[in-house]
């Protein structure tokens, strides 16, 4: 990320993280990320583009926004995400009153 000018996020959990007992579709990656951030998973929003990632996000207790960028919409829609969008153009995020606020335009 640094090479292309993106400031890395405070917490990054990858599949090879030694603290993980299991990867997706287990909720472990999202639970660990929430723990590292000091928040409960139910206060998190997960953006996912794969069925196993959507399943993991839901199992963690987070709100899941599914993005149809790597799988067809008909595959993504049946996974149970709270919201399904074609791409991130349909999601707006604003920081106000000490919180992140999301607006999701579902089509």
Distances, alpha carbon 79 to alpha carbons 39, 46, 69, 76, in Å: 25, 14, 15, 6
Residues, the chain = 107
Which superfamily does 2-104 belong to?
HAD superfamily/HAD-like (3.40.50.1000)
Cis peptide leading into residue 25 (ω within 30°): yes
Tens of pLDDT along 9-29? Answer: 888 898 899 999 999 999 999
Tens of pLDDT along 79-92? Answer: 999 999 999 999 99
Percent of the chain with pLDDT over 90: 79
| Spans of all domains in the chain | 2-104
Tens of pLDDT along 35-63? Answer: 999 999 999 999 999 999 999 999 999 99
Q: What is the pLDDT of residue 86?
A: 95
Q: Is 60 left (phi over 0), alpha (psi -120 to 50) or beta?
A: alpha
pLDDT beyond 90 at 8: no
């Amino acid at each position: 990320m640094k090479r292309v000018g993106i400031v890395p996020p405070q917490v990054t959990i990858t599949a090879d993280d030694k603290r993980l007992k299991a990867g997706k579709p287990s909720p472990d990656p999202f639970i660990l990320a929430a723990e590292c951030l000091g928040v409960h998973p139910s206060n998190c929003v997960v953006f996912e583009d794969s069925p196993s990632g959507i399943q993991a996000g839901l199992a963690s207790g987070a709100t899941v926004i599914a993005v149809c960028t790597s799988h067809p919409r008909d595959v993504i829609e049946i996974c149970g995400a709270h919201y399904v969008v074609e791409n991130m153009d349909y999601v707006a995020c604003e920081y106000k009153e000490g919180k992140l606020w999301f607006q999701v335009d579902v089509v």
